[in-house]
Amino acid sequence: MPLKTNTTDAGGNGVMPPSRFHVQPLPGANFGGMVEVSGIADARAAIAAAEAEPETLPAALCEARGFLLLRGMGAISEDPELLVRLSRLFGPEVEDYNQTLVKKSTVHPEVPEIFIVSNVPPAYKAPPARPNPPLTEDGKLPTRFPHRRGWHTDQSYRRPPPDISLFYAVQASPKGQGQTIFANGILAYQELPPELQARVDGLVGIHSSSANGRTEYAVRAGDPPKDIQPHEAPQRQPVVRTHPVSGENALYLCEAGQMDWIDGPFVGLETGPDGEGGKLLYEIMQHYTRPEFIYAHEWEDDDLVIWDNRSLIHSATWYDGDAVQRVMWRTTVRGNPGNEYAGERRSWIPV
Ligand SMILES: [Fe+2]
């Protein structure tokens, strides 16, 4: 899947230099691209080159069905603003996390567009639990639901939801730990069995922040939900989203930790973990996470991955938080959610 490069400008009036960016298929996946930049070794220069041809990387992301990997982006650790500059190429607005529903301790102190995912205080977040059993029968990393849990698309409990996430490894976990696993909702939608497709078309999910206490786990444990403000309320989202750039349909839903398991997970279906809706969610998720739709990223320091939340879900994996310090930076880009959300106010901003 080499990236198509334009050699004439938009008006056809002249010859443009060939792109410096080349995209190779992502090894071990049926989607995604690995970006190489010719003649440039340093991430600072690579980001400047991306700014000089601002349509190249967003087009490559779309062509690669929502996932790109760039290695060796270490200059970002010294100058975090570089990550924000690169993020700006992917949409109208790079989110300021001081205005979203996250804990202040997880916002970068100097660059509020950066959300810190780390087990190092003050941002501290414990690593995800290990699956049970930790490996599959053939000794591999479990990726399929429900053996693998934690599948979500970032901040889907807001309307309009964000478009794209950029995730950068300041300090990666060792190989074999702390991978991020991705499932491609475009491929999964295209391969839906007809019976399941008939049930998801037109279906609406109810998404909720795990902080609201409406997760499958909380409901099963009998824990009372948190009293929430209107701007924290669960939000409805279509289970099938049409991508605003490619026009492709993708599955769009989360599982235990980011749906509303009290009034949902789906509008109009029997509620709760053992209801008709919960059973359908399990069925969809088992399909969505089939091996042919999966990519598991083993992180190295200075890796940057870019994914489209409108068409992919992802899940974090366990790492040994007692022995390992892991520091990751994320930005999110919003502003192009599709016609479904046209003209809507931001649900997460208090009125
Ligand atoms: Fe996430």
Tens-place pLDDT, residues 1-50: 344 444 344 444 556 677 899 999 999 999 999 999 988 878 999 999 99
Which two three-digit tokens encode residue 327? 């520091």
Q: Which one, of 251, 224, 29, lies nearest residue 156 by Cα? A: 251
Domains of the chain: 21-341 (3.60.130.10)
Distance from Cα 153 to the centre of ligand 1, integer Å: 6
Which two three-digit tokens encode residue 119? 């087990």
Distance from Cα 210 to the centre of ligand 1, integer Å: 12
Distance from Cα 34 to the centre of ligand 1, integer Å: 20
Cα dihedral sign for 115, 118, 124, 125? positive
Distance from Cα 67 to the centre of ligand 1, integer Å: 14
Distance from Cα 274 to the centre of ligand 1, integer Å: 26
Q: Which one, of 166, 14, 12, 15, lies nearest residue 76 by Cα? A: 166
Distance from Cα 155 to the centre of ligand 1, integer Å: 8
Distance from Cα 174 to the centre of ligand 1, integer Å: 20
CA–CA distance, 185 with 306 (Å, rounded to integer): 15
- Decide: pTM greater than 0.85: yes
Distance from Cα 78 to the centre of ligand 1, integer Å: 24
Mean pLDDT along residues 132-151? 96
Tell me the helices (H) and strands (E) count for the chain, helix number first. Answer: 8, 15
Average pLDDT, the chain: 94
178-211 pLDDT, tens digit per residue, is 999 999 999 999 999 999 999 999 999 999 999 9
